[in-house]
Amino acid sequence: MKTVVSGIRPTGKLHLGNYFGAVLSFLEMQENYQSYFFIADIHSLTTHPTPENLHGNVKQVLAEYLAMGLDPDKCTLFVQSDVPQISELYTYMNMNAYLGELERSASFKDKVKNQRNNVNAGLLTYPVLMAVDILIHKADFVPVGKDQEQHLEMTRTYAKRFNNMYGSECFPLPDAYSQTGKLVKVPGLTNQGKMSKSGGEGDAIFFDDEDNLTHKKIMRAVTDSGPEKPNQEKPEAIQNLFDIMKLVSDDSTVKHFDDLYNACEIRYGDFKKQLSADVLKFVTPIRERIREIKSDDKYLASVAHTGAEKARESAEKTLKEVREIIGFRRFY
Ligand code: AMP
């Protein structure tokens, strides 16, 4: 069976965009691949979180991914820092990563521009750690977004460089996992492109929010004075609400409001009430499950422990081979 590896940023609460843009593909992968999903807590140190925030966010995403259907019996779900082999391989791989290529990485250049007061070495070697996350499990595939294609290319470069340097075939060169058509870009409620945590107050629909907050956000979403001509094209703000509705409502409901819009008879208040009811129908059971899981420390501990053991076993196997290849051969 082919192996796939993917990281999860410990950013805390997940929203509808994360679900339809990432979690769904994880659910598909765990059925068809040997899948390693890790919470990238070492990566997140580049932004200097407080210990409480770091731990709280790791716990939150762990509980959320489980609540959304990641199954520890089908995949290996682990916390990156639970696998010390990753840090060890990172040390070795750093010796074969060159300053010039690291400085040319688009994400590094972006960070230099946008967080001038915290350009740390971890940011510079971020692509090396990312490569290690993938190579340590000898992944065949990695799901990558458009902004991460360069990182996958760097991973392939490091794998090739290592293999050539030592005349070995230690690392397979991973390919991009082609996402199925199911993945969509979810628009935000405040009409600023895609739904995002940083999209401002009211933009994102979080699974772990209370029902009345979600309802309020939807009812406050900006609309206009209504269509003026039959069958006119919808302005972005309206189209966005329809796009969200398509994800959570029945086809007949979407058609009902689409027909009303096209006949210039839509009442946005009713439309948003229906959208809110359907969003909550989708989100509420998952939120209840998130809270159940979050309060079950024993379950979380057992998931993290099992995941760590499985990930360490796979990582140690690769690392043993790497140590031997490099020439770290024990005298005892
Ligand atoms: P983030 O925490 O924002 O980095 O997102 C984590 C994952 O969710 C990434 O794979 C993103 O591509 C995906 N994602 C985030 N926001 C959206 C969105 N509005 N629509 C689709 N996918 C998204």
pLDDT tens-digit profile of 151-188?
999 999 999 999 999 999 999 999 998 776 556 789 99
CB 133 within 8 A of CB 8: no
- Specify the residue with its C-alpha closest to ligand 1, atom 14: 18
Q: Which residues contact 159 (CB under 8 A, 6 or more apart)?
A: 131, 135, 171, 172, 173, 174
pLDDT of residue 199: 83
Who lines ligand 1 at CB under 6 A?
9, 11, 17-18, 20-22, 145, 185-186, 194-196
Closest residue by Cα to atom 12, ligand 1, is 21
3-177+297-326: CATH topology: Rossmann fold (3.40.50)
- pLDDT for 181: 58
Q: Please report which confidence band the pLDDT of residue 93 belongs to, taking 50, 70 and 90 as the band edges.
A: very high
Ligand 1 centre from 22 Cα, in Å? 6
Q: How far is the CA of 185 from the centre of ligand 1 (A)?
A: 8
Q: Which residues of the chain does CATH 3.40.50.620 include?
A: 3-177+297-326
Q: What is the pLDDT of residues 28-38, one digit of tens each?
A: 999 999 999 99
Distance of CA 21 from the midpoint of ligand 1 (Å): 6
For β-strands 3-8 and 34-39, DSSP reports them as parallel
Tokens of 239: 């189209």
Percentage of the chain with pLDDT > 70?
Answer: 98
**194 touches 187 (CB < 8 A):** yes
pLDDT tens readout for residues 262-298 = 999 999 999 999 999 999 999 999 999 999 999 999 9
Q: What is the per-residue pLDDT across 198-250, written as a single tens digit (0 to 9) for each?
A: 888 899 999 999 999 999 999 999 999 999 999 999 999 999 999 999 999 99
Q: Where are the beta strands (DSSP E) in the chain?
A: 3-8, 34-39, 76-79, 141-143, 175-177
Report strand pairing: 76-79 vs 34-39: parallel
Average confidence (pLDDT) over 35-60: 97
Q: Which CATH class is domain 197-291?
A: mainly alpha
Global confidence as pTM: 0.94
What pLDDT is recorded for position 148? 77
CB 223 within 8 A of CB 268: yes
- The boundaries of every CATH 1.10.240.10 domain in the chain are 197-291
Q: Whose CA is nearest to atom 4 of ligand 1?
A: 9
For residues 261 and 125, what is the distance between their CA atoms, to the nearest angstrom? 51
The pLDDT-based confidence of 123 (bands split at 50, 70, 90) is very high
pLDDT in tens, 129-144: 999 999 999 999 999 8
Tell me the angle at which helices 268-294 and 297-326 cross, rounded to the nearest 10 degrees: 70
Nearest CA to ligand 1 atom 5: 18
Residue 323 Cα to ligand 1 midpoint, Å, equals 36
- Is the separation of the CB atoms in 9 and 163 below 8 Å? no
* pLDDT for the residue 183: 66
CA of 166 to the centre of ligand 1 (A): 38
